[in-house]
Chain A
């Protein structure tokens, strides 16, 4: 199961939404929660829950078209992991961004990964992914990993260097490329890169609202250096 919720640079959301479109996944479920704003999203005249799941027999993809309110992030993520377990999901994979200063000077953002156990981490390394050795992950990605571990489920976080509060389709494309190294999910990202400017224009509002929630959940802690002696 791939989780792409609005976060740093909207990397996870852009990547997962593109994946859903390219693989033509069908909507299979949605989350109904009193903790989420009273919103429906209209597409082609029909209402959809903002937080919903798409899938086929091999893959589930989770996106949210609204910024998850910071206080709801625990419940929402726990519910997603519980639901994944009930659906016999083998592995939870979340995609996100690492806020990177001077991102605009980086031609090709780097991607880092973290895993819920050493064996999985070794697999990632063997597949050519760089690991995020030291640092903090804040928000839904952190919680999906924590809850997965408590449920003894495999969990991987893929994080691409990105702008903090500007939508970053290029980082999303590179995250998807790295994803293809460790899974059967392979998509051509050229259309995503071509549509980059259009996505940046369209994503301004959700980015703005996501920024407010990131502030509330102290997302900037991802810049911090952890102390572990």
Chain B
């Protein structure tokens, strides 16, 4: 019997590019958590950044997000890539800086958005979504990356 790891077949150039992308994204994440200086909004995309958490258990990955003031039926959960989940939802009504008491900036926001980085393989097709008390919870079963093959 041999332990085999499932991997997509691709050129070494693709592999290298993929690793570099991953390193870049990881570095960005580390920097973001060490120096969270960026704003929690984006006027270009009309998004406010939602607070979120990622919990990794032996069997599943649970991503939660605090989504106040949204229309629950507009929630979208998307796998940007194997390791990055994006959650967006349309707000019940647009929020302007002015509504938040800010007069020295201009812009309005229609969406709440957050991204969760997942460092383990997950099955995005089997995700389960629930929305309770304003908190969105998305559960992904973890993919088995090893299997035993009979010879």
Which A positions have Cβ atoms within 8 angstroms of B? Answer: 103-106, 163, 165-167, 196-198, 200-202, 204-205, 207-209, 212
Hey, what's the 0/1 contact readout for B64-105 against A, CB within 8 Å counting as 1? 101011000000000000000000000000010000110000
**A208, B36: Cβ atoms closer than 8 Å:** yes
Residues of the B chain whose Cβ atoms lie less than 8 Å from the Cβ of A104: 64, 132-135, 137
- Known A-B contacts A197-B69, A201-B100; the reply to A165 vs B51 at CB < 8 A is yes
Q: How far is the CB of B147 from chain A (nearest CB, A)?
A: 32
Chain A residues positioned under 8 Å from B137 (CB to CB): 104
Q: How far is the CB of A191 from chain B (nearest CB, A)?
A: 16
Q: How many A-B residue pairs have CB under 8 A?
A: 50
Interface of B is mostly: mixed
Assess whether B43 is interfacial by the CB under 8 Å rule.
no
Q: Measured between alpha carbons, how far is A205 from B39 in the docked complex, in Å?
A: 9
* List of A residues within 8 angstroms of B48 by Cβ: 201, 204
Instruction: Report the nearest B residue to A105, measured CB to CB.
Output: B132
User: Could you show 12 A-B contacts with beta carbons less than 8 Å apart?
Assistant: A103-B133, A104-B64, A104-B134, A196-B68, A197-B134, A200-B69, A201-B69, A204-B48, A208-B36, A208-B40, A208-B51, A212-B33
> Contacts A207-B51, A208-B51, A209-B36: A201 and B133 contacting too (C-beta < 8 A)?
no
Chain A: CB-nearest residue to B104 = A42
Tell me the bound Cα distance from A198 to B68 in angstroms. 8
Question: Distance in Å from the Cβ of A54 to the closest Cβ of chain B?
Answer: 19
Interface size of B as a range: 20 to 34
Q: Is residue B50 within 8 Å, beta carbon to beta carbon, of the partner chain? A: yes
Chain A's closest residue to B92 (CB) is A197
Residues in chain B near residue A202, CB distance under 8 A: 100-101
Q: What is the CA–CA distance of A212 and B34 in the complex, to the nearest angstrom?
A: 9
Would you give the shortest CB distance from B58 to chain A, in whole angstroms? 17
B53 at the interface (CB under 8 A from A): yes
Q: B69 near A204 (CB under 8 angstroms)?
A: no
Q: A167-B66, A204-B50, A208-B36 are in contact. List 13 more A-B contacts (CB 8 A).
A: A104-B132, A104-B134, A163-B66, A166-B51, A196-B68, A197-B134, A200-B134, A201-B100, A202-B100, A204-B49, A204-B51, A204-B66, A212-B33
Q: Is the CB–CB distance between B51 and A105 below 8 Å?
A: no
B57 shortest CB reach to chain A, Å: 12
Cα distance, A130 to B100, chains bound together (Å): 37
User: Chain A residues near B132 (CB, 8 Å)?
Assistant: 104-105
Given contacts A104-B133, A104-B137, contact A204 B36 (CB under 8 A): no
B23-51: contact bitstring with A at CB < 8 Å (1 yes, 0 no)? 00000000001001000100000001111
**Which of B49, B66, B69, B100 has the largest count of A CB atoms less than 10 A from its CB?**
B66
User: Considering the chains assembled together, what is the distance between the CA atoms of A197 and B135 in angstroms?
Assistant: 11
